[in-house]
Structure 1
C-alpha cells in the first residue's frame, strides 16, 4: 500500500504538497479511497462488523484516536475524513447535508459495505441520523454524540439560540475562511471550551486540528460547511420537523456540561424514534470521544450488541 505521505504528495488536485502525514496511532492504518465523487482518506483499525466513525466540525479522523484501540478487538473501525476535512479532497462546493450523505453512500459502495453501524460526533452525528432516515437498510445501529436528534423542539432550540452567537465568525462567507486561516486562537478557544476537563484536549491534539484548518482549501471548506447549514438548512429544519420514523436502534450521548449542545436542547422523540435512547454524561462537555473515551467505547460496544431493526429484511444487492 502506498504510504499516506507519498500518495498525498503525488496526486494533483488533491491536498497541497506541504500537507503533513496523518498523526500516528498504534494499530491504525491509512489509505485513500477514490469513490468517483471524492478522494477520501480513511483511517482503519481492527476486523469484524464494520463501524463508520464520522467526526464533527473543525476536526477530522484523529478525534477517534482513543476510541479505535478500545473497539478494534471486535469491530472493523473506519474513521472517515469528510469532504473538506483532514486529508480528504476539499472541493469548492458540495457541503450541504444531502451532499455529504451522498459522499458516505459512495464510500460504502466503493468499499463494498452493504450495511454498517454509524457512530458520529457533532455534524458527523447529524449525517449518521440523516443516512439512517434516508437509507435505513444500510444502517444497523446509530450512536450519536453531542448533537441534536432529528426531532427538534423549536422552543427548546430558540431558548438556547444564544449558544450560537460564535457561529457568524465562521459561517459568514469570506469572514469564516479568514478566521479559520489567520486567527487560530479562535479555533483553539472553541476546542478548549468544548471540554469540561481541559487536560482531555491537550495542546498537541488542538494543534492537530487547528493547523489543518489553516490551509486555505480546508478553511474555505470549514466555512462552507457552517454556511450551508446556517443559511440553507437550519430554519427549514425548525419549520418542518422530521416526521419519518427512525428505524435503526439509536443511542444519543449528551455531555451534561456541553456548552454548545446541552441536554436541555433535546426534545422528546419517543413517537418517531421509540428505539432512540438518550444518556446524559455528567461533568462532560462537547467532545465526549476525547474527554470520556472509555465510557463512550463501552456504550458503543453495548449498543452494537442490540438486535438491529428489521434484521429479516432482504439486503440490497451488491
Structure 2
C-alpha cells in the first residue's frame, strides 16, 4: 500500500519517509510533487527523519476538488506530522511550499522549529498577480505553461524543463487553477503583499530564505518583516526558480550550515546533532 494519511474525509496525502533523527518536512511547489526534493531528501536522510509529502491534489495524493488555501494546506501538513507522531519539525518549502510552510509556522508555532524557504513567492505585488489570476481561471494549463517558462534562466538544464512540462500537463486543471488562485486572491490570499505583510509577522521561528534571479517577489520586502538574529535572506541571482534542483549540492550545504549554526547557538529552535 502507498503510505498516505487521511487529512479529512475526502483527501489522503501521500508521503514517503527517509532516515532517522530530527524531523524535517519537505513541501513542494505549485503543480509539482515531492520528487522535486529527491536530492535534498537523500542528503538530509543521513541524519534526519525526512518526510516528503505530495500536497493535496498533487502527485500521489488523492484527486480533490479542493479547497486549496495556504492555511488548508498547512493543516494538511500538520495532520501528516501528527499522524506520524512528530511533535516538532524543521520545515523546508519551495515556491507554493514557502507560503504553506510560513502558514504552518504562523498557525502552529509549537510544531515548526525553523523554516528553510527556496525562492519564496509571498510578497507578490497585487497589481502584478491580479491579471495572472484572471488568466489562469480562464485557461489554466496554457497560462501555467507560460508562467513556467519564466521560472528558468538560460543555464537551466533542458531535462528540467522537459520534466516539469510533462508533469504540469498531467496535473488536473482544477489543481493548476485553484491552488494558484487561492494563494493570490481573496482574504486568504496571503501570497499577496497586501494580505501577507501582517500575516507573516506571525512567524516566530528562525528563517533561511534563498531567492533566485527570477520572479517578482523581492528580498527587500522579506527583509522588512520582523526577523531574528539567526535569520538569513540570500539571493542566488544567476539561478532559476528551481534553485534547489539547479544547485542541489550547494543548496544542501547551505541548509546544513545554517541548521548547524542554529544548533550551536543558545536558541532551542533546532535540536542538536545536525551535521555541518
**TM-score (norm. length: structure 2):** 0.82
Residues 206-257 of structure 1 deviation map (CA, whole Å, 9 limit, x = unaligned): 24522421xxxx22122111222232134886156237453211100011x2
- Structure 1 residues 277 and 121, CA gap change in structure 2 (3 angstroms): same
CA contact (8 A) 1:261 1:286 kept: no
Q: If you compute each CA radius of gyration, which structure gives the higher value, 1 or 2?
A: 1
Structure 2: segments with no counterpart, 5+ residues: 270-276
Q: Does 1:230 align with 2:230?
A: no
Residues 130-170 of structure 1 deviation map (CA, whole Å, 9 limit, x = unaligned): 11122111111110111156xx5xxx836xx4477544332
Alignment RMSD: 2.8
CA contact (8 A) 1:249 1:309 kept: no
**TM-score (norm. length: structure 1):** 0.72
- Structure 1 residues 266 and 191, CA gap change in structure 2 (3 angstroms): same
User: What displacement does 1:276 show?
Assistant: 2.7
Structure 1: segments with no counterpart, 5+ residues: 5-30, 313-318
CA contact (8 A) 1:117 1:141 kept: yes
Distance 2:182 2:132 in 1: 16
Distance 1:188 1:244 in 2: 33
Structure 1 moving runs of 4+ over 6 Å: none
- Structure 1 residues 192 and 201, CA gap change in structure 2 (3 angstroms): farther
Query: Aligned with 1:66: secondary structure?
Result: helix
Q: Does 1:299 align with 2:257?
A: no
Aligned to 1:142: 115
Query: Aligned with 1:206: secondary structure?
Result: helix
User: What displacement does 1:126 show?
Assistant: 0.8
- Structure 1 residues 134 and 163, CA gap change in structure 2 (3 angstroms): closer
Distance 2:51 2:149 in 1: 26
Distance 2:266 2:199 in 1: 19
The number of residues matched between the two structures is 262
Distance 1:224 1:188 in 2: 15
Q: 2:95 aligns with which of 115, 122, 135?
A: 122
